[in-house]
């Protein structure tokens, strides 16, 4: 059983602090939902866990099964068992979907071991069928000209073939119509097992009706300000986040002033009080 541990994580991008001290532990078999208004740092959290070089870790640790990830590259993290289904999957003209997924699966094999192509093709076809993706998608260029729904299904296709230990799904529901949402939900739910821990980032109850989380976190201004059970989802759906702002004494969070930090001097920076 795997464990992702995030401790006191402070992250900046282009000199602006976005995450102000995140603590989160996700174990195999658990599904965590992260909800929060736009611009509060949800994608930043997902990207920094996966190792996007644009984000600077000012303080804190990210560990997978005890291994410190802070300095590891994206491909190293992927081989260790992390997966990120992106909010906005990138289009890569010139690389077919088939070649991309094959290269990714090959890169996950132990050194010297070669992918058995026939077996790979069968599993790719099975996964595409389960996701009700058109068969032609494998031979089109990666995400190029894909509809929003096709891009998101394609992320789940990769997840099925890579079989991660910890998966982060960033707004996997955005751009999906009701039928596609059900298909994605069923496929992700079918992957639930003690070997897989998941973080679902979403705005909507709809996704969390299909992929039922065990724990719900709310993120505001770069911090997890509340953690609870599924009751939080219905409350947010009905009332938004105003009640929470009131509870926490936050009057506004729109474009809050972020204190500029100079990179390199903030390794020991401690998070300040929540801005109000
Ligand atoms: P969410 O996913 O919760 O909507 P994000 O993590 O995408 O939020 O963004 C959090 C904040 O970080 C936003 O205020 C956004 O404008 C800011 N941000 C993201 N990328 C950059 C960047 N490259 N430069 C400056 N600010 C950024
Ligand atoms: Mg986002």
Q: Mind listing the pLDDT tens digit of every residue in the chain (276 residues)?
A: 899 999 999 999 999 999 999 999 999 999 999 999 999 999 999 999 999 999 999 999 999 999 999 999 999 999 999 999 999 999 999 999 999 999 999 999 999 999 999 999 999 999 999 999 987 888 899 999 998 889 999 999 999 999 999 999 999 998 899 999 999 999 999 999 999 999 999 988 889 999 999 999 999 999 999 999 999 999 999 999 989 988 888 765 555 555 555 444 333 344 444 443
Neighbours of ion ligand 2 (CB under 5 A): 42-43, 87
Q: 161 Cβ partners below 8 Å, 6+ apart?
A: 101, 104, 105, 123, 124, 127
pLDDT at 257: 53
pLDDT at 175: 86
- To test the pocket of ligand 1, the residue of 10, 43, 86, 218 to mutate (highest count of ligand atoms within 8 Å of its CB) is 43
Ligand nearest to the CA of 219: 1
Separation of CA 115 and ligand 2 centre (Å): 34
- 254 and 221 in contact (C-beta within 8 Å)? no
> Which residue is closest in CA terms to ligand 1's atom 26?
13
Stated pTM of the model: 0.89
CATH level 3 topology of 3-248: Rossmann fold (3.40.50)
List all residues whose CB is within 6 A of at least one atom of ligand 1.
Answer: 13-14, 16, 18, 36, 38-44
- Atom index in ligand 1 nearest the CA of residue 258 equals 14
Separation of CA 214 and ligand 1 centre (Å): 27
């Amino acid at each position: 059983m795997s464990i992702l541990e995030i401790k006191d994580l402070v992250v900046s991008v282009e000199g602006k602090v976005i995450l102000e001290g995140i603590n989160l532990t996700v174990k195999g078999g658990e599904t965590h939902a992260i909800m929060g208004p736009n611009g509060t740092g949800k994608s930043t959290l997902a990207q920094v866990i996966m190792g996007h070089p644009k984000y600077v870790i000012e303080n804190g640790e990210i560990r997978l099964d005890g291994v410190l990830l802070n300095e590891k590259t994206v491909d190293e993290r992927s081989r260790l068992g992390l997966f990120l289904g992106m909010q906005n999957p990138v289009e890569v003209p010139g690389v077919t979907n088939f070649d991309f997924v094959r290269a990714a699966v090959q890169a996950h094999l132990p050194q010297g071991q070669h992918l058995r192509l026939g077996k790979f093709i069968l599993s790719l076809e099975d996964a595409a069928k389960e996701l009700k993706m058109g068969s032609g998608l494998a031979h089109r260029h990666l995400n190029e000209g894909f509809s929003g729904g096709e891009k998101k299904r394609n992320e789940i296709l990769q997840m099925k073939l890579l079989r991660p230990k910890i998966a982060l799904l960033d707004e996997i529901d955005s751009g999906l119509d009701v039928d596609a949402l059900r298909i994605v939900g069923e496929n992700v739910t079918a992957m639930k097992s003690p070997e897989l821990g998941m973080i679902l980032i979403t705005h909507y109850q709809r996704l969390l009706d299909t992929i039922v989380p065990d724990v719900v976190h709310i993120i505001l201004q770069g911090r997890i300000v509340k953690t609870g059970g599924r009751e939080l989802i219905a409350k947010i759906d009905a009332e938004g986040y105003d009640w929470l702002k009131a509870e926490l004494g936050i009057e506004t969070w729109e474009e809050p002033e972020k204190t500029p930090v100079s990179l390199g001097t903030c390794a020991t920076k401690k998070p300040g009080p929540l801005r109000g």
